[in-house]
Structure 1
Amino acid sequence: MDSSVDSQFVATLVACIILNVGCLQENWYGYHIRDPSEWGKMYARCADNHDQSPIKIEEAETVYDRVLSAPVLHGGWEYVPTSVLMLENNGHTMELVFKDNHIRMHGAHLTHEFYLKQCHFHWGEDIEKPGSEHWLNGKQYDAEMHCVFINVDFVPGTEEEIYDREAWAVFAVFIKFDSEKPNEYIDYLLSHTDAIREAGHNYSFNQEKKKADIRHLLPDNLSEYYRYQGSLTSPPCYEFVVWTIFNNPIHISRDQAEKLFELHNFVKERNVGYMNITGNFRPPQPLAGRTVYRSFRDIDDKLNTAYDQLSNGLVILFTLFAALFCARD
C-alpha cells in the first residue's frame, strides 16, 4: 500500500465501498470531471500498470482451462414476499442492491463462497455509442452489467483484506440493445427509475414472486466465460477482484435502454441543470502479462476433439472386425 495514503482513510473507504459503492460521489471521481485518466492523482492504485480492469479480451489469446466449471447459484432466486430490494442512483450508475445477502454463489473454481451484494450497469455517451467496460474480440458492446459477489470471509474496513486476491468475485455480462428483444426482468426494474431520477435517491420495494427470478439478468449459458485476476473498475481500483466475463450477451430493448440515459449524476451546469449519467465506463487497461482463461473449447479444440473421438472409434471398430475375422478362422 502507498505509504502516502492514510490508513484510516483506506479503512473507511473500504468499508464505504463494501457497504455501498454509491457513497463514492461525483466530487471524488467521475467520468467527465476528474475522468479516469486523472483518478491516479488521488487513488494510487488507479495509476498502476498491472492487474487493473477492465481489459480487452481476444479469444485466440486466451487459454482453455477445463477446471472452470459453471458457477452454482443458490439460496435466493425465489424471494419470499418480505424480502426487500433497493434500486439506487448513486450518481455514477443504477444499482440493484440486495439487502439480506441471501443469494449465494460458489463453484467456478473459486475457493470461497460469496454472497450477492449488488448489480450495476455501465453504458455509453448516448444510445448509439457503445459503453461496455470490457471488450471482446475487438468489440465494445452497447452496455455491461456487473454483479458483485463478496467473499463471505471478507471483513469490511480492515486494511489487510485489501490484499485478499479473492475478496470480490464479479460477474460481467455484455448487453446488446435490441428493439425486438425486451427483457421482462429489466423492464420490471426500470419501471421504478422515475423514483431514482436524481443522484443519491433510492427506492426500496418488495418483488412480485412471478418476477423474482434474478437469473433473468444473466445469460442462459453460464458455463461459457472468461476468467482473469483484476481490479475494481472505479476508485480506489483495488486489485482484489476475480472476474468472470460471460461469453454470451443478454438483450434489452432500446426503449428500455433509454431509461438509463435519463438518470442524473451529481454534476450541475449553470443554466442547464443536472447532467445525465452517460459514458460511465473506464477505458481498457493494459493486460500486463496476465493470462486470461476460458471455460470452453474454441472451434479448433472442438474439431480436434471430434477428430480424436472419430479416430478412436474407428480404431475400436477395426479391432472388433479383426477379432471377428480371426475368430472365424
Structure 2
Amino acid sequence: MKAQLVTLLAACLLPTVLSEGSTVAWCYHLPSCNDTTWPHTVAHQCNGTRQSPINIVTADVQADSSLTAFSFSGFNDSSALVQMENADGKSVKVSLDDSKMSVSGGGLQGHYKSTQFHLHWGNGSSSAGSEHTVNGKRYPMELHIVNMKSTLPNTTVALEDPTGLAVLGFFIEATSDSGKPESWKNLTSFLSSVPNKGDVVDIMDQISMDSLLEGVDRTKYYRYLGSLTTPSCDEAVVWTVFKDPIKVSQDLINLFSTTMYINTTAQSLITSNFRGAQELNGRVVTSQPSSATTPYQALSLTAALLYHILYWL
C-alpha cells in the first residue's frame, strides 16, 4: 500500500503531467504543440514573467552570502528511489520516497520533501539537450530533482505558492569513457524495461541519489526564482542550478535518445525534450560570494608589500 501511495504522489508531479484542471495538449517534437506554442496554448502561465529555463550569464551573477551549504537527507539511501517510468512519452522519471528523502539549507526558506527526478536530453552526440545554459553553452543533458515544501499538503497547493517547489538542476557532461560511472550504467540498464509511454519498472534498492551525483561539489550553485519548464509552467519554483556537471560517458547518454519512445508503438524516439531559454525580465541570478584571495595569497601579497616598502626606505 505504501509503495502504491508513493507512486500515486509521483504521478501527480511534473515535468510530464499537466497541473490539475489543465487539458491542453503539448509536446516537444511537433510544430503544432512544441515549446514555441506554449505561451499561446497555455497562456495563463507559460507567457509569465518568471519563466524557466534561462541562460545564466556569469558576468551578471550577483553574490548572496545566504546561499550556504545544503543539508541532504536520505540521498545515500538506495531504497528511496522507487520506480522508473516512461512518463507520458516525454521524459524518464524516477519516483522518490519523500518520507526518506528531503533537502533543506542552501538559502531555502524551510524544509522540502524530495518527490521525483527526471531528465532532459538532446539527440545523443549530435545535439545537446540541457534546459539551462551557461553563457550560451548547452550541456548534453540535465537532471532535475523536484522537492515540495514539507508544510504543504499536495502538489496542487504547492503550485499556488511562489516558493512551493525547490528544483535542483544538475548539468550532465559527456566523457569518452565507456559505461561510466557505474551508478549511471546501473540506472540506464533499466531504460530497456520502460521504452514505451507509460511503462514502469521497480528500481528500489539498486541506486542511491548520492551515487548519481558523485563528483559534484554541491556547495557551488546558482539561484533564481522561476517556473516549471513544462506546461502549465507554474511560477512556483526556487531554482538551484549546480555549477559542477555530472560526468557520464557518451555511450550511456546516447541510450536515452535511442531507447525511449514517445508512444506505445515504438515509432518515434524521445529526442530534444527541453524548453528553450526564457527572458529574465529583470530577475537576478545569485551565487555564493567568491573570495578574492586565499589566506596564503593574502600573506604573499602582504610580504611583497613589506618588501617594497623596506626596499625604498
Bigger-Rg structure (1/2): 1
Secondary structure of residue in 2 paired with 1:36: coil
User: May I ask how many residue pairs the two structures share in their alignment?
Assistant: 291
Shift of 1:142: 1.0
- Once residues 222 and 296 of structure 1 are traced to their aligned partners in structure 2, the CA distance between those partners, rounded to angstroms, is 15
Secondary structure of residue in 2 paired with 1:187: helix
Structure 2: unaligned runs, 5 residues or longer: 1-8, 308-313
- Once residues 184 and 228 of structure 1 are traced to their aligned partners in structure 2, the CA distance between those partners, rounded to angstroms, is 32
- Once residues 10 and 205 of structure 2 are traced to their aligned partners in structure 1, the CA distance between those partners, rounded to angstroms, is 26
Cα RMSD between the aligned structures? Answer: 2.9
Shift of 1:291: 0.5
- Are 1:117 and 1:149, in contact at CA under 8 Å, matched by a contact in 2? yes
Is 1:217 aligned to residue 212 of structure 2?
yes
- Are 1:226 and 1:246, in contact at CA under 8 Å, matched by a contact in 2? yes
Give the corresponding residue for 1:86: 83
Summarize the alignment of residues 107-186 of structure 1 with structure 2, pairs less than 5 Å apart: 107-156=105-154, 158=156, 161-180=158-177, 182-186=180-184
- Are 1:56 and 1:134, in contact at CA under 8 Å, matched by a contact in 2? yes
Summarize the alignment of residues 30-109 of structure 1 with structure 2, pairs less than 5 Å apart: 30-33=27-30, 34-75=33-74, 77-79=76-78, 85-90=82-87, 91-109=89-107
Summarize the alignment of residues 281-300 of structure 1 with structure 2, pairs less than 5 Å apart: 281-297=274-290
Residues 123-146 of structure 1 show CA distances to partners (whole Å, capped at 9, x for unaligned) of: 113422111110112211111111
Residues 292-328 of structure 1 show CA distances to partners (whole Å, capped at 9, x for unaligned) of: 001241xxx524987666667899x99xxxxxxxxxx
Does the C-alpha gap of structure 1 residues 170 and 44 become closer, same or farther in structure 2, counting only changes over 3 Å?
A: same
1:204 to 180, 202, 205: 202
Does the C-alpha gap of structure 1 residues 306 and 287 become closer, same or farther in structure 2, counting only changes over 3 Å?
A: farther
Letter in 1 for 2:86: N
- Are 2:51 and 2:235, in contact at CA under 8 Å, matched by a contact in 1? yes
- Are 1:56 and 1:138, in contact at CA under 8 Å, matched by a contact in 2? yes
Does the C-alpha gap of structure 1 residues 76 and 306 become closer, same or farther in structure 2, counting only changes over 3 Å?
A: closer
Give the corresponding residue for 2:227: 231
- Once residues 241 and 15 of structure 2 are traced to their aligned partners in structure 1, the CA distance between those partners, rounded to angstroms, is 21
Does the C-alpha gap of structure 1 residues 183 and 84 become closer, same or farther in structure 2, counting only changes over 3 Å?
A: closer
Does the C-alpha gap of structure 1 residues 248 and 45 become closer, same or farther in structure 2, counting only changes over 3 Å?
A: farther
- Once residues 146 and 77 of structure 1 are traced to their aligned partners in structure 2, the CA distance between those partners, rounded to angstroms, is 17
Does the C-alpha gap of structure 1 residues 312 and 74 become closer, same or farther in structure 2, counting only changes over 3 Å?
A: farther
Shift of 1:220: 2.7
Secondary structure of residue in 1 paired with 2:146: strand
Give the corresponding residue for 1:274: 267
Secondary structure of residue in 1 paired with 2:222: strand
2:185 to 184, 187, 198: 187
Residues 204-223 of structure 1 show CA distances to partners (whole Å, capped at 9, x for unaligned) of: 13314xxx431122243111
Structure 1: unaligned runs, 5 residues or longer: 1-14, 319-329
Secondary structure of residue in 2 paired with 1:264: coil
- Once residues 155 and 137 of structure 2 are traced to their aligned partners in structure 1, the CA distance between those partners, rounded to angstroms, is 37
- Are 1:185 and 1:214, in contact at CA under 8 Å, matched by a contact in 2? no
Shift of 1:121: 0.8
